[in-house]
Amino acid sequence: MRISELGRRSGVANATIKYYLREGLLPPGRATAATQAEYDESHVRRLRLIRALVGVRGLSVASAKQVLDAMTEHRGDTHEVLGIAFGIRPPGEGAPDTSGEETNPEASALVDAMGWSVSAANPARRTIDETLRALRSLDIEYDWQALLPYAELAERTARHDLDRIETITDPLEKAEQAVLLTFLLEPALMALRRLAQENESTARHGGGDT
Amino acid sequence: MRISELGRRSGVANATIKYYLREGLLPPGRATAATQAEYDESHVRRLRLIRALVGVRGLSVASAKQVLDAMTEHRGDTHEVLGIAFGIRPPGEGAPDTSGEETNPEASALVDAMGWSVSAANPARRTIDETLRALRSLDIEYDWQALLPYAELAERTARHDLDRIETITDPLEKAEQAVLLTFLLEPALMALRRLAQENESTARHGGGDT
């Protein structure tokens, strides 16, 4: 198909498709003339993936490219793909950052208490320590121990996440779904918390006017 | 204290403080001369709150103002404050939007299945339906029933959330903490999921090189 049909099928504007081609996010089509190329179903699928990562989840084009490259390169290795997608293992060059344990002591205490096996470079460690610092700057007493009940619920959430992709046999599809379900479910999981909070607040304090 | 000390104590730049004063986000100080005013501890606290809502959680200045106004106005009514903070009840004018049940059928099915009492106007309903549509546009079979295990975990999360503020007796402090813990914990909860995912992925597929 031509670029115009590719745009129609994927819901991505032609100018944006050309930008993704220039950035190497989308592989080139098969050249049929000096200024024409032919695209196939793999391009439609790839564009939908890009749209999900960049449009829905707000990744930068550079981050989306790393995730997509990792999915292609390590297609059989879901663990490796997830590692790159989460920013744990930088793709390619350089030794992994291992300063996470010293610079984020509260995350480390939490990980130890949970008995989790988590690399020092996982950037989620920093988020934990930053959140706790922000709460304390507002005089809210909150430390890593207060997060333990949430950590136990997160452990069950992660089990559901991985159960979901366990049954997929095609390795590329498995890696794709692992990344998409991790990124795209985040807003829905926060929305579920808000719905559950309203329900719980109504049960405890609410009148009949909600 | 003068505005310069207020800036130092709160960590907010003087120009930003003046902007918040103009926008009505921060109440005026006590005028001591034509161009001078005196601020107190309540201003320091309010500025830290604004910084948390705008800076850490990325709310717009207008949204932060609605939340803060609600916290002051309904200080004794945590349920009401949470409702406004989550965008369920628009502060002041206008009837609440009740189109949420018809326009977001999957969220409604989920809420019914969970037996939750959730208003039709809760904007989290739309997030649920949008996420499921985004997943299906990527050929991932996913419906509201697939979210049920997560909804059960969200229910327990919400219970922890409300337990945490249950023991606070000062009504203004209670409303403040309800809002802050809801907004500020979101990144930490997603970080916990990422840490737990790495742990679970390592346990299932990982080698010794993580």
Handedness of CA B175, A149, B52, B125 (dihedral sign): negative
Handedness of CA A147, A148, A154, A158 (dihedral sign): positive
Complex ipTM = 0.79
Residue B13 near chain A (CB below 8 Å): no
CB-based contact B11:B51 (threshold 8 Å) = yes
Distance CA B89, CA B83 (A): 6
Residue B125, pLDDT score:
93
Distance CA B88, CA A191 (A): 12
List the end-to-end C-alpha distance of chain A, in Å, as a whole number. Answer: 52
The structure tokens listed for A45 are 């699928």
Per-residue pLDDT reduced to its tens digit, A8-53: 988 889 999 999 999 889 999 999 988 889 999 889 988 888 887 7
Distance CA B185, CA A142 (A): 11
Q: Which residues contact A109 (CB under 8 A, 6 or more apart)?
A: A144
Write the residue in B114, B128, B180 that is nearest to A140 by C-beta: B180
User: Which of the 8 DSSP states describes residue B95?
Assistant: P
Residue B75, pLDDT score:
66
Residue B169, pLDDT score:
79
Distance CA A156, CA B193 (A): 9
Contact A122/B86, CB-based, under 8 Å?
Answer: no
Write the residue in A119, A140, A158 that is nearest to B196 by C-beta: A158
Q: pLDDT tens string for chain B (210 positions)? A: 999 999 998 888 999 999 999 988 999 999 998 888 999 988 998 888 888 778 766 678 887 887 788 777 776 677 777 777 666 655 444 455 566 677 899 999 999 999 999 988 888 899 999 989 888 877 788 899 999 999 999 999 999 988 888 888 776 677 778 777 887 888 899 999 989 988 998 888 765 443
Closest CA to A161 of B61, B72, B190: B190
Burial class for B176, CB neighbours closer than 10 Å (0-12, 13-18, 19+): buried
pLDDT band at A168 (very low <50, low <70, confident <90, very high): confident
Contact B184/A122, CB-based, under 8 Å?
Answer: no
Place of tokens 């793709």: A91
Distance CA B47, CA A136 (A): 14
Residues of B in contact with A76 (CB under 8 A): none
Tell me the backbone φ, ψ of residue B90, rounded to 5 degrees.
-65, 130
Structural domains in chain A, sorted by start: 1-52 (1.10.1660.10)
Closest approach of B66 to chain A, Cα-based (Å): 18
A56 or A189: whose pLDDT is higher?
A189
Residue B164, pLDDT score:
85
Surface of A (16-35) touching B: CB under 8 A: none
3-state secondary structure of B78: helix
Contact A185/B150, CB-based, under 8 Å?
Answer: yes
In this predicted structure, the answer to whether residue A186 has a pLDDT above a threshold of 50 is yes
Burial class for A45, CB neighbours closer than 10 Å (0-12, 13-18, 19+): middle
Residue A89, pLDDT score:
58
* Count, residues in chain B: 210
Task: Compute the count of residue pairs across chains A and B with CB atoms less than 8 Å apart.
Answer: 263
Beta-bridge mates of residue B31: B37
Residue B69, pLDDT score:
80
User: Which of the 8 DSSP states describes residue B91?
Assistant: S
User: Within its chain, how far is the Cα of A165 from the centroid?
Assistant: 15
Residue A182, pLDDT score:
82
Give the mean pLDDT of chain A.
83
Per-residue pLDDT reduced to its tens digit, A102-137: 789 999 999 999 999 998 888 889 999 999 988 887
Residue A209, pLDDT score:
44
Residue B61, pLDDT score:
85
Per-residue pLDDT reduced to its tens digit, A133-154: 888 877 788 899 999 999 999 9
In this predicted structure, the answer to whether residue A208 has a pLDDT above a threshold of 50 is no
The structure tokens listed for B136 are 């299906």
Residue A148, pLDDT score:
95
Per-residue pLDDT reduced to its tens digit, A59-92: 788 878 877 887 777 766 777 777 766 666 554 4
Beta-bridge mates of residue A209: none
Distance CA B203, CA A114 (A): 14
Per-residue pLDDT reduced to its tens digit, B66-90: 778 877 777 667 777 777 766 665 5
Contact B157/A153, CB-based, under 8 Å?
Answer: yes
Residues of B in contact with A194 (CB under 8 A): 86, 122, 124, 182
